[in-house]
Structure formats: C-alpha cells, structure tokens
C-alpha cells in the first residue's frame, strides 16, 4: 500500500505498552506523487524478491530518486520498536 505522509502511521504506537501494532513502516513523510509511488513499489518488491534486506533496499531507492534529480528523500523506514525507543528516550529529557 502506498499513501501520502505514510510515516504518520507511527502515531498509533503506544509508548507505554509492550505490544507493537506492526513490525515497521516504509513510507514517505510528504505528499507522494503517483509516479513516485509506482516506481517505489516496483523497485521495492523486485529487490525484495531478489532477497535483499529492507535495510539495503531503502537506501538504494533513495539513491535512485537522487539520480533522477529528486532533492528530497522519497522513502524512509523504521521499526515500531525503534520508534518507541527513540520517543521514550526523547520524552525523558
């Protein structure tokens, strides 16, 4: 699934609970254009089927968009556990 500002899905993570509503998110932090979503999905799933790890795929897709002249990163990723850890640490400052 592709969506604009898809990283906002992180807002459903409850920092006080042990459970995670999902493993992680891969998405965009801004409005996503149709051509970007199409290319991202084509690249992501073809690389995944090749056996590449998500931690490798995301930077490769970022580089592809950079090569195409995009000045911002179109795709980001994080795990629910990583997000929760960061939010909890920042909240304790």
Task: Please give the Cα distance from 10 to 35 (Å, whole number).
Answer: 24
For the segment 32-48, what is each residue's pLDDT rounded down to a tens digit? 888 988 999 999 999 99
Average pLDDT, the chain: 82
HSE-CB for 60 with a 13 A CA cutoff: 16
pLDDT tens-place string over residues 61-89: 999 999 999 877 788 887 878 878 887 88
How high is the pLDDT of residue 43?
95
Asked whether 18 and 36 are in contact (CB, 8 A), the reply is no
> Against a cut of 0.95, is the pTM above it?
no
Domain boundaries, the chain: 6-91
Q: Which ranges constitute the DSSP H helices of the chain?
A: 34-49, 54-67, 80-91
Instruction: Copy the structure tokens of residue 59.
Output: 């930077």
Angstrom distance (rounded) from CA 76 to CA 7: 8
The rounded radius of gyration (Å) of the Cα atoms in the chain is 14
């Amino acid at each position: 699934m592709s969506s604009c500002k898809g990283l906002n899905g992180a807002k459903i993570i409850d920092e006080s609970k042990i459970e995670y509503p999902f493993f992680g998110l891969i998405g965009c932090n801004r409005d996503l254009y149709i051509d970007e979503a199409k290319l991202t999905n084509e690249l992501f799933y073809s690389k995944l089927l090749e056996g590449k790890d998500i931690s490798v795929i995301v930077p490769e897709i970022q580089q592809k968009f950079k090569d195409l002249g995009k000045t911002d990163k179109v795709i980001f990723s994080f795990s629910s556990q990583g997000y929760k850890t960061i939010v909890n640490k920042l909240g304790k400052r």
